[in-house]
Structure 1
Amino acid sequence: MENMSRQRWLPPAIGAVLAALTLATAAQAANCPREGTLGTSRILAVAPNVYPRVGLKSFPETLPLHDHEVVLTFDDGPSPLTTPKVLAALANECVRATFFLIGEHSVDHPDLVRRIAAEGNTVGHHTWNHPSLPKLSLSEATDEIDHGIAVDEMALHGVATTTPSTPFFRFPNFESSPALLDLLQSREISVFGADFWVSDWIRMTPDQELKLLIGRLKNARKGIILMHDTKPWTAAMLPAFLRYLRNNDYHVVHLVPAVPDVAVKGEL
């Protein structure tokens, strides 16, 4: 791991400006110029002090979604083989998602990190190389988190800061610990679990994945969905799933970081 002392920290004012710019970009992206697309139904600003931990698979609380509202999230990217296909499917339906990136992939493909953000999506963080954090010492786990954030920020903004411009984090395999949860809460970083997932870490055909995902969506009716933009079967399945959402009156909610000091629960 590279020497973290070489990272530059963003002053709070700059961090607030970056968050505001992200919010403005997302708001513009919600307006789709093409009729007949799924589109982004609304934008939900998430403040860590209001929603420190969300996702019913891991925590007792989730985001305030209405019936038939979903949040699309993708883990483990970016991958040059599959992430562009996921981005193309999202763009085709004017939909925005949240990508939790692995730092070493961001280092290898900074252009894709910038493309994810430039197309109106939200960039969250998923450690440097996806270890089981509870199996590490607290210091090692903190370095894993910080290293991942720093390189993601370098790809996005050219500054290797451990203060994320979007304070969203997801634990690899949802494996957390009380100490790490407390650490992230003290740093005002929201931890994202999921309300349900598609189990796409298991190899399957796109049709099998679509059937599984639709079944779980019908059961849950709403929620934060976990997928992986690194899986080719997910990239192949996604256009059909977005069509299903459009044809069955589901609505996509796009997450953005709340502007500091003005965050409230609910939608913009």
Structure 2
Amino acid sequence: MAKLRLHKAASRLVGATTALLTGIAVANAADCSRKDALGTSRVLAVDAKTYPRVGLKSFPQTLPLADHEVVLTFDDGPRPPNTQKVLAALAQECVRATFFLVGKSSAELPELVRRIAAEGHTVAHHSWSHPMMSQISFEQAKEDIERGIAADEMALNGVSTQVPSTPFFRFPYFDSTPATLDLLQSRGILVFSADLWAADWENMTPEQELKKLIEQLEITKKGIILLHDPQAWTAAMMPAFLRYLHDNGYRIVHLVPAAASAQTRADGAH
């Protein structure tokens, strides 16, 4: 049965990707007109006090997800043209994700950062230059983290600040240190690892990546999924992967910071 699902999902790669690249309009994630779209099942508001560090790759705790609930996260963007292709695939299925951005790229491509947010996704942080934090001094690591946050905030909101509007951070290579973990916790920033991934930083085909993800989901049945939007094979795989999730009863959970969720509710009460 698993092999049959793999074959069906892989067979969609060519057709689904071609359809996206031949002119299907990018829809706003909040306005889904497709009745058979995967969609976003629910919004989960999280904060660093309740969940300071999540993701079983690095930590003993992960997010409170039910069976067949997944969170889609993307690292290392923004980077054309593949970030745009990933956004198109997500929009086609009315799915919202979290993008952990590299500050240097955000500074170079602020319009793309704003597009990610405008389409309903969560903008999070992934350092300025993507270093191995354990290989540099604490002061260098601190500066790189802060500079990355400031660059993301400038691109997104036009204000250079080290206080993130979305206090979510993922360490490059999952490479944290006790000092950098303590730094982020002291600032109320939730640190993300991941529960499953396809190692798409390695060279592979879209079919190989899809197979790896499906095999892991057959075991875990849920979790925080790590992908990399700059990778061409990931961008090409996304339409078929989202259809696989749809066809196999998976539900998308969109993450937002608890403070933003509370403010949204307050604004709606007026």
SS at match of 1:139: helix
CA distance in 1, matches of 2:184, 2:144: 13
Flag as ranges the 4+ runs of structure 1 deviating above 3 A: 28-31, 260-263
CA drift at 1:262:
5.6
SS of residue matched to 2:159: coil
Identity percentage of aligned residues: 65
- Find the counterpart in structure 1 of residue 119 from structure 2: 119
Task: Considering fraction of residues, name the structure with more helix.
Answer: 2
CA distance in 1, matches of 2:29, 2:81: 25
2:100–2:124 contact (8 Å) kept in structure 1: yes
Q: CA deviation at 1:50?
A: 0.6
1:55, distance to aligned residue in structure 2 (A):
0.1
Partner of residue 23, structure 2:
none
Find the counterpart in structure 2 of residue 33 from structure 1: 33
Is 1:42 equivalent to 2:42 in the alignment?
Answer: yes
Distance 1:104 1:179, change over 3 A: same
Letter in 2 for 1:82: N
Shift of 1:33: 3.0
Question: Does the CA contact (< 8 Å) of 2:45 and 2:261 recur in 1?
Answer: no
What whole-Å deviation, never above 9, does each CA across 1:62-83 have from its counterpart, x for those lacking one? 0000000000000000011200
SS of 2:203 mapped into structure 1: coil
Residues 220-259 of structure 1 show CA distances to partners (whole Å, capped at 9, x for unaligned) of 1000000000100000000000000001100000000111
- Is the CA contact 2:74–2:99 (under 8 Å) kept in the aligned structure 1? yes
- Cα distance in 1, alignment partners of residues 168 and 254 from structure 2: 13
What runs of 5+ residues in structure 1 fail to find an aligned partner? 1-27, 264-268
1:67-110 Cα deviation digits (max 9, x unpaired):
00000000000011200000000000000000000011001111
Q: CA deviation at 1:31?
A: 5.6
- Counterpart in the other structure of 2:59: 59
**Corresponding position of 2:143:** 143
Letter paired with 1:169: F
Structure 2 CA distance, aligned partners of 1:169 and 1:189?
7
Mapping of residues 252-263 of structure 1, within 5 Å: 252-259=252-259
**SS where residue 259 of structure 1 aligns?**
helix
Cα root mean square deviation, aligned: 1.5
Partner in structure 2 of residue 177 of structure 1: 177
